[in-house]
Amino acid sequence: MFLDSRYLPIGVSGIAIPPSPPAPSPTTRERGNPTARRTRSTPLSHAVGGGLGVRAINNTRTPNEGPKPLEAISGIANEVESPSEKGSGSEGKYQPARLIDLGLIRYEPALELQRKLHARRVAGEIPDTLLLLEHPPVITLGKAFHPEHLRFAREFYAQQGIELHPTDRGGDVTCHNPGQLVGYPIFDVSQHGRDLHKFLRDLEEVLIRALAEFGIEAHRESGYTGAWVGDAKIAAIGIKVTKWVSMHGFALNVSNDLRLFNTIVPCGIADRPVTSMERVLGRAVPMEAVKQSVVRAFEAVFGLRFTPVNAPERFGEG
């Protein structure tokens, strides 16, 4: 396969990936005009959701080994078959929740664990549960995936050791790699307003608040999901809601190698770059500190109090 001279080898089975473009300055946002909107060339239905990663993609850490789209809301795959009878909870009261840190784990066993926890949340056997983790290099294909948004033939990704995974979340194509913080909230949405639009906006609010703790001014973009700094996407969201319980979630670029994104059209958005906390700040960012900020933001936005629990042994029980 032809790769032009701008491509830089980065050490995963000889993979050569285009260098990431320079990060836009946060000052490019119309700071004084929060209602300002930008022109987009990508249709909304193709553009949002997905886009979900502590080091470059040649990181050698061993991952843990374990076991209908809603047209009006891109970024959500929705199969709400029957409303929950549990009620929405009381505002101002903190509900107990569980926090599971899985570390670095392959996509497939993490998805298996999500499904098991989802079933238990639907049955009312466990409270809201948040999974925090990182993935080895993997590209996931959401419900709105367009084949042309893979920039290379599928054989190319296989040769480079990059997994391709079709998935049932909302959104288009995105990638994960070490250094990207991924969060999968297994939440009963009926206890958080029973409103899928609001649930997406609340996830964005979590990311915006967490980034603010590091001095990063992130914002929403009209017509898209996720968190943005200037014109660049720093965090993406793609979820699925079945029986009012969510799966999948967000991916926040902390210190991951962004060149992997150049092998796809991230989230189907061709005219916007991606960025990371490390790139915006120009310094290393401790992943543990980011996790703590995200947890605090989840507690504040969703009215939760997390208790850390160990990962279920062999992912058999939640």
pLDDT band at 64 (very low <50, low <70, confident <90, very high): low
pLDDT, average across residues 14-38 = 43
Q: For residue 308, is it within any domain?
A: yes
Identify whether 25 is part of a domain.
no
Q: For this structure, is 267 an active site residue? A: yes
Residue 78: inside a domain:
yes
Rounded CA separation 153/206 (Å): 36
Residue range 2-27: mean pLDDT, rounded: 41
Mean pLDDT of 215-229: 96
Number of domains the chain is built from? 1
Catalytic residue among 267, 290, 294, 301: 267
User: What is the CATH classification number for the domain harbouring 92?
Assistant: 3.30.930.10
Structural domain includes residue 195: yes
Write out pLDDT tens, residues 107-135: 999 999 999 999 999 999 999 999 999 99
Q: Is residue 253 part of a domain?
A: yes
Give the tens place of pLDDT for each residue, 129-175: 999 999 999 988 877 778 878 877 888 888 888 888 778 787 788 89
Which has more pLDDT, 306 or 260? Answer: 306
Q: Is residue 62 part of a domain?
A: no
What's the whole-number average pLDDT of the chain? 77
Q: Indicate whether 7 belongs to any domain.
A: no
Please check the confidence at residue 206 and state whether its pLDDT lies above 90: yes
Residue 146 lies in a domain: yes
Dihedral sign computed on CA atoms, order 263, 269, 271, 277: negative
**Domain encompassing residue 125:** 42-56+68-315
Residues pairing with 182 in the sheet = 133, 251
